[in-house]
Amino acid sequence: MGVISRLPDLDRLRPAGTKRSSKRDFIVSVFLRQEGHLSADDLVDLIRREDHRISRATVYRTLHWMVDAGLARKVDFGEGRFRFEHSYRHPRHFHLICKTCNHSFEFLSSDIESIIEEVALARAFTAVQSVVHVYGECDACRTGRTASESVTATSERLFARDALRMAIATERSGLDFYTRAARIAQDPRGRQMFEALAGEEQEHLTTLEARYRELLAEDPSLEAQPTFLFFKGAANGLFAAGAEEVQREGVDDLEALRIGIRCERGSHRFFKRYGARFEDSEGKQIFLEFAEEERQHLALLIREYRALRERRRAS
């Protein structure tokens, strides 16, 4: 399933009591077709290329309307003027800003998000919006090398790519864990369950890898683009530590189930937490789909853990 760009329902976003405006709808459609960060004057120039009758004032009013409606974000890169970027189907993110060429590079980090949440919680502060700009010098300006002329992928596509990479890594580590758990399991019922889960992981892994190939086929430049999502612990798969732990001497069926429950619970919480936070996008869908899959596996492991304890008590 590839990333599909869809325009928002402007009728739904329009404030009560306001009339539909064809000019505003046109300006919104032009804005959402652009990538990067536009100044108000940049947007005026783009609009006037297609319809010179639309005034500068109308463009300015529409920009403010888009910010209020949640279609655009206003950002300040220290240039003495505001710029605007998509917020519709565009995940919240942070910026690296080159002070030499003024180019900005987007990224998202779970570590920064966690620190912001921790500080806000400690101060009993309700955080509504977080803005992080890191100023410095980009590689092209610092080394004198010419920057790549290739078209940079949208952050929505990069988000989908990185979300799929994380899901694939987690599925691979899950397959490794359940395969190893099945080998050490002594209880026939538990071994059968581990083998079945390993089979599910292999099936889901095949599906995710196919989605990843399809995404790259739609935009071959994605493979070479820098990482957008920086999520510590997720890059190597959320079951990687569990797969190592289950091989240790003395791990029995119950302990293997406990390790699996811990891994599935952590994976479910991770994907659900960030999936719920992201705005509508392919990446959000991937995270929420994966969270639901992990929830089902978690429930199965908990049931089997309780059943095995009961069987051991009865024996």
- Given the candidates 1.10.8.60, 1.10.10.10, 3.90.1150.10, 1.20.1260.10, the CATH classification of the domain at 19-88 is 1.10.10.10
For 155-314, CATH gives 1.20.1260.10
Q: Contact, 70 vs 88, CB < 8 A?
A: yes
For position 2, what pLDDT does the model report? 32
Q: Contact, 91 vs 155, CB < 8 A?
A: yes
DSSP 108-136: EEHHHHHHHHHHHHHTT--------EEEE
How many helices (H) does the chain have, and how many strands (E)?
11, 7
The ranges assigned to domains in the chain are: 19-88, 155-314
For position 238, what pLDDT does the model report? 86
| C-alpha separations of 110 from 95, 127, 162 in Å | 14, 16, 13
For position 7, what pLDDT does the model report? 53
82-86 vs 72-76, strand pairing mode: antiparallel
For position 292, what pLDDT does the model report? 94
94-98 vs 133-136, strand pairing mode: parallel
For position 23, what pLDDT does the model report? 85
For position 1, what pLDDT does the model report? 30
For position 147, what pLDDT does the model report? 55
CB atoms under 10 Å from CB of 224, counted, come to 9
Rounded mean pLDDT for each run of 10 residues along the chain, 315 residues in total: 44 54 84 79 88 87 85 76 73 80 79 84 84 86 67 69 90 96 93 95 94 92 84 79 92 95 93 77 84 94 94 86
Q: Contact, 239 vs 294, CB < 8 A?
A: no
Decide whether 19-88 matches 155-314 in CATH topology: no
